[in-house]
Amino acid sequence: MPVLLIAAEPREFSGLLRFCSTVERLHWPVHWARSATLNGQSVLLAANGAGARRAAQAVEVAQLASRFESVCSMGFCGALNRDLKIGDIFVPDSVMSGVRRFAVARPESSRPFISGVLASIPRVAVAAREKRDLRETGASAVEMEAAGVAAKASELSVPFYCIRSITDTSQESFAFDFNSVLRDDGRFDTPRILGAALKEPLTLFPELIRLRRHCRIASRRLGEFVADCRF
What residue ranges define each of the domains in the chain, with the CATH number in brackets? 3-228 (3.40.50.1580)
pTM: 0.96
Q: Percentage of the chain surpassing pLDDT 90?
A: 100
For residues 140 and 81, is the Cβ–Cβ distance under 8 A?
A: yes
Q: What average pLDDT does the structure give for the chain?
A: 96
Instruction: Identify the CA nearest to 160 among candidates 212, 214, 104, 216.
Output: 104
Distance of CA 143 to the CA centre of its chain: 7
User: What pLDDT, on a 0 to 100 scale, did the predictor assign at position 229?
Assistant: 96
* Coil, strand or helix at 44: strand
Average pLDDT over residues 187-212: 94
In SS3 terms, 156-215 reads as HCCCEEEEEEEEECCCCCCCCCHHHHECCCCCECHHHHHHHHHHCHHHHHHHHHHHHHHH
User: What pLDDT, on a 0 to 100 scale, did the predictor assign at position 151?
Assistant: 98
User: What pLDDT, on a 0 to 100 scale, did the predictor assign at position 54?
Assistant: 98
Instruction: Identify the CA nearest to 90 among candidates 103, 101, 76.
Output: 76
Average pLDDT over residues 189-217: 94
| pLDDT 10s digits, 102-123 | 999 999 999 999 999 999 999 9
For residue 45, give the amino acid letter. Answer: L
Residues paired with residue 43 on neighbouring β-strands, in sequence order: 3, 36
Q: How many CB atoms sit inside 10 A of residue 105's CB?
A: 15
User: What pLDDT, on a 0 to 100 scale, did the predictor assign at position 76?
Assistant: 98
User: What pLDDT, on a 0 to 100 scale, did the predictor assign at position 190?
Assistant: 93
